Amino acid sequence: MSVERDPTPATLPSLAANTSTGAAPLVLPAWLPLTVTLGYCVLLAIAELLTTFVDPMLGLVLHLLILLGLLGLTARWWQHPLHRFLLALVAGPLIRIMSLSLPLAGLPFISWLLITSIPLFAAAFVTMQTLQLSRHDVGLIVRPTRRAWRTEGWIALTGIPLGFLEYVILQPPPLVAGLDLQTTWFPIVVIFVSTGLMEELVFRGVMQHTALPVLGRWAIPIVALVFAILHIGYQSWVDFGFVLGVGLLYGYLVQRTGSILGVTISHGLINSMLFVILPVVVQVR
């Protein structure tokens, strides 16, 4: 399976007319989807920079404005497939709005991850229902063949070296006191569900699937860029580049396999290595 750019017409028609109202298909200029998406990325990056380096409240306000703007454009272009991607892009500002507005100050990082992921999971499934996306559409499947399972297994294992690499970049403090099962099982489960599954469902599942019809070969790079922008808060441009590269890798792997299983496990392994395992190992040494 490969991404092919559609022929370059003067306009991009919608997939179908609104049969319930008899409305004609909406026609938009061919350049509009990529231009709107790049504008979104610029505004999202500014909001993240404000949140990280200036004032979180200013960042929150801009994220709210981005979200409202996306909803407005979604309603305006509802009869064009671009509206599906714009609705998926709501996840970007929503992730930061949840993390900034919920009263979670003083909670442990793992508890914070768990609580903020609940409304984001709900938003992802509401988006899937609204856009009538199936499990197959968002990659919540694995082909029932031995080769497919083996491929997903190899993809999952990429999380180990990638986790080592990101730890070298960020070197965060340990989240747990030791590596015994009683101490580590809950943080690791939360990390796998709240970062691995949630983020891959949102980015490589819903967002990438809805981007492909309107952005063609730019879909995977754009989704990877959105994913990387939301990591500006780690205050490391090296990590920004690392996350962008991982996003590109995951995007192409999901496009090839049609499943987010392998990248979900890989993502969970990266963050488990980064936040739970390696900080304790290094501290003990």
Number of domains in the chain: 1
Residue 47 confidence (pLDDT) = 98
What confidence tier does 172 reach under pLDDT thresholds 50, 70, 90?
very high
Environment class of 267 (CB within 10 Å of its CB; exposed 0-12, middle 13-18, buried 19+)? buried
Phi, psi at 141, each rounded to 5°: -145, 165
Q: pTM of this prediction? A: 0.89
Q: Say whether pLDDT at 16 is over 70.
A: no
Residue 9 lies in a domain: no
Residue 12 confidence (pLDDT) = 42
Give the total residue count for the chain: 285
Q: For residue 113, which of 17, 198, 42 has the smallest C-alpha distance?
A: 198
For residue 179, give its domain range: 16-284
Q: How many CB atoms lie within 10 A of CB 240?
A: 16
User: How far, in Å, CA of 248 to CA of 221, rounded?
Assistant: 6
Q: How many CB atoms lie within 10 A of CB 89?
A: 27
Choice among 7-16, 81-90, 215-224 with the minimum mean pLDDT: 7-16
Residue 7 lies in a domain: no
Q: Say whether pLDDT at 258 is over 60.
A: yes
User: How far, in Å, CA of 114 to CA of 102, rounded?
Assistant: 12
**Which residue's structure tokens are 């929150």?**
60
Residue 1 lies in a domain: no
User: How far, in Å, CA of 110 to CA of 201, rounded?
Assistant: 20
Residue 5 lies in a domain: no
Radius of gyration for the alpha carbons in the chain, expressed in angstroms and rounded: 19
**Which residue's structure tokens are 């403090």?**
173
Residue 277 lies in a domain: yes
Residue 280 lies in a domain: yes
Q: For residue 283, which of 184, 194, 177 has the smallest C-alpha distance?
A: 177
Secondary structure percentages of the chain, helix, strand, coil, to 5: 75, 5, 25
Q: For residue 47, which of 89, 85, 97 has the smallest C-alpha distance?
A: 97
pLDDT digits (tens, 9 = 90+) for 26-46: 888 888 999 999 999 999 999
Phi, psi at 219, each rounded to 5°: -60, -50
Q: Say whether pLDDT at 270 is over 80.
A: yes
What confidence tier does 244 reach under pLDDT thresholds 50, 70, 90?
very high
- What's the mean pLDDT in 70-90? 94
